[in-house]
Amino acid sequence: MRVTVIGHSCLRAETRAGTILVDPWLIGSCYWRSWWHFPPSTEPTPEMLAPDFVYLTHHHFDHFHYPSMRKLDRAANVLIPRFGVDVMADEVVSLGFERPQELIHGRVLDLGHGVRVASYQYGFDDTAFVIAEDDQVVVDVNDCKIRGRALDQLVNDFGRPALACKSHSFAQSYPVLYDSEDAEQLTLVSQQTYLDDFHDVMARLRPRYAIPFGSMVGFLHPDSAPLNAHLVTPGAVVEGVAERGGIEGTDVITMAPGDVWDSDSGFDRSDVDWYTDRETHLAELTTKYAPKIAERTAAEEGVRVEWRDFEAHLGRLVREVPRVFARRLSPRPFVFHVPSDVERPYWWVSFQSRSVGRSATMPDNASGLTTIPEAVLSEAIRDRIVHILHGAMRIHTKLEPGGVQSDLGFWGVVMMWELGYLPLRLSARHPRLWFAMARRWREFLDQAPSVISRNPVDHLAERFGADV
């Protein structure tokens, strides 16, 4: 087996059963011109654009990238995880592919010629992916927060991996794009959180080679550029694992786009250092893509969020989410700042009163004030992807004292609702939800005690801060 790092979270595996392309973000940017490849991704070749199989770990745009998918040969067999709700299949079909094959959690799919793959779902919308050729096993943990018994299941099914790839930096706005007079509110996660998480997952997998992966991005839009200084680099991961005493039998190896691991010949890596002088490289990329960013800026100019759209979408949210559940996760009003509404610029969402509204002053006891470019917020409402905004990195939040719980809780509730898990009276009618839950009993067994005994937002923040 031969595995090439294409960029960010994209791998290309050459196997006896054919080529497998995982999470093909191959070109351009993501999230309203905020995310770009850094280091630059491998230039797509005709072979890369004609895979035999495509696997999409989850529906986020840096993994399921529509412009890149449109470049691929439609003859590719697309594989997706079978979540408890159907969030991906129709989107794949809309791009011109045959209906994708949904992989059941933990069920091995034989591709022939000694090649097997499997999807391990975890959380609401993420997966780890395994490719095995004979006894050579590659685990793409990617963004997935797979832990405990669920991670043990993967190892029990496939044995010790030769190669394991895992993300190592943040993919959401908290805490870097947040302000608070109480600094403690910004300490739920830190750079050390990601270093420890990488170490702990790899210590459980014990691969021969652990690869810092899935975090190869640069933020080139002015709204998100401040985040670059806070990214956790692959070199920091190598040092962090070493500081904890290493992992017995495991080498941490950095790989850049274009680097290759071959099960027979080992590694073929470039000698380009992208991180020692990261600021210079990022400045060069910013100059290169400045026209595209300026074009997006011009398109956003003058675009307003319409109150009727805000009220319709988020009003439905507060009506459909169970009140007890939502009030526990997000008990305080969440407020957007909408400057084009001069008389009533504070647009709020309250699970407590099950209402949305707008006012001339901040509502009492609000969690904070979040500002998002109106064009971006408008598009997110239109496309029912408001929960994506937190990871788009084009927001800024000023927390009120004690507001972090409600703030993170709000984003978690919106995510569950927009994905289709809420309201439960609808999702619980579908057998696929119960089937998925039954297959994933190990995860629920691990999670139940902490959900019951801990503040739910502490638990959510722990996962959210590591890119749920």
Whether residue 463 has pLDDT greater than 60: no
pLDDT per position as a tens digit, 50-83: 999 999 999 999 999 999 999 999 999 999 999 9
Q: What is residue 468's predicted lDDT score, i.e. its pLDDT? A: 33
Whether residue 200 has pLDDT greater than 70: yes
Residue 255 CB contacts under 8 Å (≥ 6 apart), including other chains = 5, 211, 213, 261, 267, 269
Same domain, 66 and 189: yes
Same domain, 266 and 345: no
Last-in-domain residue among 289, 324, 339 = 289
CA angle 422-425-426, nearest 5°? Answer: 70
Q: What is residue 452's predicted lDDT score, i.e. its pLDDT? A: 61
Same domain, 281 and 373: no
Count CB neighbours of 88 within 10 A. Answer: 20
Confirm whether 297 is domain-assigned.
Answer: no
Confirm whether 454 is domain-assigned.
Answer: no
Tell me the one-letter amino acid at 454: R
- End-to-end, the C-alpha distance of the chain in Å comes to 30
Provide the domain limits for residue 397.
307-423
CATH number at residue 351: 3.30.1050.10
pLDDT per position as a tens digit, 304-339: 999 999 999 999 999 999 988 898 899 999 999 999
Confirm whether 206 is domain-assigned.
Answer: yes
Same domain, 40 and 96: yes
Looking at every residue in the chain, the average pLDDT score rounds to 95
Q: How many domains does the chain have?
A: 2
Same domain, 241 and 275: yes
Burial (CB count <10 Å: 0-12, 13-18, 19+), residue 149: middle
Q: Both tokens of residue 422?
A: 């809420």
Same domain, 209 and 352: no
Confirm whether 208 is domain-assigned.
Answer: yes
Whether residue 465 has pLDDT greater than 50: no
Q: What is residue 323's predicted lDDT score, i.e. its pLDDT? A: 87
Same domain, 237 and 330: no
CATH number at residue 58: 3.60.15.10
Same domain, 211 and 313: no
Classify strands 77-81 and 101-103 as parallel, antiparallel or unpaired: parallel
pLDDT per position as a tens digit, 398-417: 999 999 999 999 999 999 99
Classify strands 260-262 and 2-7 as parallel, antiparallel or unpaired: antiparallel
CA distance 162 to 156: 14
Q: What is residue 457's predicted lDDT score, i.e. its pLDDT? A: 55
DSSP category for residue 332: S
Confirm whether 461 is domain-assigned.
Answer: no
Same domain, 120 and 154: yes
Last-in-domain residue among 236, 263, 289 = 289
Confirm whether 447 is domain-assigned.
Answer: no
Element (H, E) at 298: helix 278-300
Same domain, 113 and 236: yes
Q: What is residue 450's predicted lDDT score, i.e. its pLDDT? A: 62
Contact of 129 with 22, CB cutoff 8 Å: yes
